[in-house]
Amino acid sequence: MKVKKGIKIAGITLGMIIVLLAVTPLLFKDKITALVKESINENVNAKVDFADVDISLLSGFPKAKVSLNEISVINRAPFEGDTLFYADKVSVKMGISELFKGSGMEISSFAVNKANVNVLVNSEGQANYDIAKESEETGETGAEEAEGEDFSFSVQHYEITDSRISYLDEEGKMQFVLEELNHSGSGDLSLNKSELETQTDALVSFVMDSTAYVKRNKVSLDAVLGIDLENNRYTFLDNTLLFNQLPLVFDGYVQINENNQEVDVTFNTPSSDFRNFLAVIPEAYASDIENVETTGNFEVKGKVNGIIDDTHIPAFDIKIRSDNASFKYPDLPKSVSDIRLATELVNKTGLAKDTYVEIEKLSFRIDQDVFNARARLNNVTENMHVNARVDGKLNLANLSQAYPFPMEEELSGILVADITTAFDMASIENKKYGNTKNSGTLDLTGFTYASEEMANPVSISKANVTFNPTKVNLNKFEAKTGQTDLNASGTINNLMGFMFNKENIEGNFNLSSNTFALNDFMVDDAEEGESIAEDKEGGEGEKSSGGAGEKIKIPSFLDCTVNASANTVIYDNLKLKNVKGILIIKDETATLKDLRSDVFNGQLAINGDVSTKEETPTFKMNMDIQNFDIAESFKGLDMLKALTPIAGILQGKLNTDLSLSGNLKDDLTPVLLSVTGNALAEVLTSGIDSKNSKLLSGLAGNLNFLDTDKLDLKDIKAALSFEDGKVNVKPFHIKYQDIDIEVAGSHGFDKTLGYTATFNVPAKYLGKEANNLLAQLNEQEQEEMTVPVKATIGGTYTNPSVSTDMKSAVAGLTQQLVAKQKDKLVGKGKDALGNLLGSGKNKDTTATDTTKTKKQEAVKEAAKDVLQGLFGKKKKDTTN
């Protein structure tokens, strides 16, 4: 019974302990949260925050685990708003008893997950990591003052996982980045002297003065560090570094003094096999190096020794050597041989400006082609001076047969170069190209290149470039792609500025072609799901792609003038002959100056520009069209169809001055609803194809007297303006025999019509039905009498509607006939008055008025019958 009772008490006690361990974090969470926030924010000049705090006494028992979730450190001025540090989670472990201390908590391990650290030194030398506050009384930083009061470290283990560290020095124009960083260390850092075992994996990038020397290269480091906390000395005991797949072993130490750091490190490759050189190349480009046959040596040796302070760096001497080496990949037919490399990176004074790079020799041979290079770079951190020479010959097809380049299409052609250059970066930055010394030639023959991004392979039969101190001359360039042939020559004025100073390419070129087909430079990037649908911006029947194709952009780095000429330019089914003009490309805008061409048996002149600088591309064009064959031009130009759709039925010539502006789609075709402008058009017709016009058929159906084939459309001049998707046409006149017709109105790019045509019809066309009405008019009066009839044209191009205002026309004819009769009655009234005065008898005026009214009604009815027969269906004659 006592045993059972003891077990029961033990069970109850254990349960209470477990409950206590589970409840305690809730009791102390607020205290720890307040302590952490207060301690951090009191000692740093930055905004520190985190989402919440997790405290667990069970998961790491007998240690307590405290985690800060979504912790961030945001800088204040002069780096206002910049994120210095962010991590998904930062957690620490400590003894449970440490939670009950008011201060002096001892941390035994910590972990950081998915951290992003952005260290920045601005152009004034200020660092964003300098956030510790100074004590008002002692002048010491808050971190130093608080040391040993709130927290102390007795770390046995730490780890950083899936993190990124970026160091950017704007003053020194240098950036160092560690990505996908995983680092851990184990050791007892509470001892004055201990050993720390570390493992590190990361991708390393290093950029200096806009040159990427290392880009996402894989680095692995297993290192055992001897730590002497009393003397702040850290010794490399057993260390192996893998740079990509190149192994390096090193030893030495780093000592942190009060005012500087002392470094003394040596390193070298553990073997001299040339395979080590291939291992430097990123893995993606150096596959299967274990099976590569190599001869010769490759060695890297270096030493770094000296002081690091505000003005000094350690002196160093790094040598890279290879003699009479070769390699051959097992699956490739050719080898690279006679490889010689002698390079040295040196600083002897400890001043950064005295660093130099000497490439004494770099050469190799593939078959019988030999390529050589040498260079020296002095004063690399301030105003770098470059002296270099390249000479040799390369069969480009051999490159992919000797080395596994990740290329989908093979290169071909012969490259011959003999170039010498000498320049300093200050002259390049200040555009003092006269201080540069460039000379030599570069020849390329039989070059062919194909890619999925190009519609056709490009074949360069000949290209010759000469280098002079101030410019580069393109002496010859002959190429062909698809149907297009190109011949070019010209000059580039600032190639060095473009290569080293991010300047635009400035140059002048002459370009000629026998046949230039624009389709040869266009790639169909429409994805699946493309459909023909109504485009809200462009009208019916235009393509809209379900995929997100890339925008066509005019390169921002081009600043050049091209004098172009071509015998034939082909775009879809459109052929332009004898094309000549000037193309100016600058500031993401292409400007056409006096571009002239023969097309549609006439002449076209264009001045204007296209800009892709803004989010929505724009265009502005002035077009002078002379003697265009109307039928041909309306088959080839959709824009003319939209502006003047009825002209498609005309036969003859078209002259017009056309001004257009508006927005463009991503493929640089116009957004019709955005187009604005005006035009003055002159039509010189020789005939009409009325059979193909539903509009003319509709007019003829409503106007019985109209034979549309006899419309006189010669020498028509019309002024047009267009905006908001509508084309407005000012009144103009056409003739049908001796009938004058005034036309005005508008139509939309959505193919809607809104026009009026006013016909001034002579009375003689009223026919036999009007004989009785006109019998009392003389021949001259009949000739002068006209009836205005207004036809309203609506609907669409393909389904037009035509209506006439019969009521107004009837009233007009009636008024004219009544007025004529009234004039005659007045004359007769005068005669009757004379007879009345002579006879002395009274006239019955009531009868006269009644007769007059009846005659007016008869005239009106007769006029109505006549016009209905003329402009609509004729009534059957039901009277005798």
pLDDT digits (tens, 9 = 90+) for 235-250: 988 888 888 778 889 8
> pLDDT band for position 201 (50/70/90)?
very high
Return the minimum-mean-pLDDT range out of 77-81, 359-363, 535-539, 838-842. Answer: 535-539
> pLDDT band for position 318 (50/70/90)?
very high
- With a pLDDT cut of 70, the percent of the chain lying above it is 68
Select the more confidently predicted residue: 708 or 739. 739
Per-residue pLDDT at 334 exceeds 70: yes
Cα separation values, 609 from 590, 623, 643, 663, Å? 5, 12, 21, 12
In this prediction, residues 202-229 reach a mean pLDDT of 84
Prior bond of 788 cis (ω within 30°): no
The one-character DSSP state at 249 is E
Query: Hey, which of 46-60, 375-389, 429-443 has the most confident mean pLDDT?
Result: 375-389
Per-residue pLDDT at 49 exceeds 70: yes
Distance CA 427, CA 423 (A): 7
**Concatenated DSSP letters of 249-305:** EEEEEEEE-SS-EEEEEEEE-S--BTHHHHHHS-GGGSTTGGG-EEESB-EEEEEEE
Provide the b/e sequence for 85-95 (b: ≥16 CB within 10 Å).
bbbbbbbbbbb
Distance CA 666, CA 618 (A): 10
> pLDDT band for position 641 (50/70/90)?
low
pLDDT at 861: 62
Per-residue pLDDT at 19 exceeds 60: no
Q: In angstroms, how far is the first alpha carbon of the chain from the final one?
A: 141
Return the minimum-mean-pLDDT range out of 65-69, 213-217, 467-471, 521-525. Answer: 521-525
Q: Are 518 and 570 in contact (CB under 8 A)?
A: yes
Per-residue pLDDT at 849 exceeds 80: no
Select the more confidently predicted residue: 794 or 853. 794
Per-residue pLDDT at 538 exceeds 50: no
Return the minimum-mean-pLDDT range out of 43-52, 202-211, 225-234, 868-877. Answer: 868-877
Q: Cα 138 vs. chain centroid, distance in angstroms?
A: 56
Write out pLDDT tens, residues 751-804: 788 888 888 877 666 555 455 556 656 666 666 677 777 888 888 877 888 887
Distance CA 141, CA 432 (A): 48
pLDDT at 23: 44
In this prediction, residues 23-51 reach a mean pLDDT of 67
Strand pairing class (753-762; 261-268): unpaired
Distance CA 747, CA 758 (A): 17
pLDDT at 546: 38
Distance CA 759, CA 9 (A): 117
How many Cβ atoms from other residues are within 10 Å of residue 645's Cβ?
19
Q: Are 688 and 711 in contact (CB under 8 A)?
A: yes
Distance CA 762, CA 740 (A): 9
Write out pLDDT tens, residues 374-406: 999 998 878 889 999 999 999 988 988 888 876
Q: Are 622 and 607 in contact (CB under 8 A)?
A: yes
Select the more confidently predicted residue: 108 or 603. 603
Per-residue pLDDT at 329 exceeds 80: yes
Q: Mean pLDDT over all residues of the chain?
A: 76
Per-residue pLDDT at 162 exceeds 70: yes
Per-residue pLDDT at 1 exceeds 70: no
Per-residue pLDDT at 646 exceeds 50: yes
Distance CA 315, CA 264 (A): 10
> pLDDT band for position 550 (50/70/90)?
low
> pLDDT band for position 446 (50/70/90)?
very high
Prior bond of 62 cis (ω within 30°): yes
In this prediction, residues 631-641 reach a mean pLDDT of 67
Query: Token pair of 406, please?
Result: 């990740």
pLDDT at 98: 58
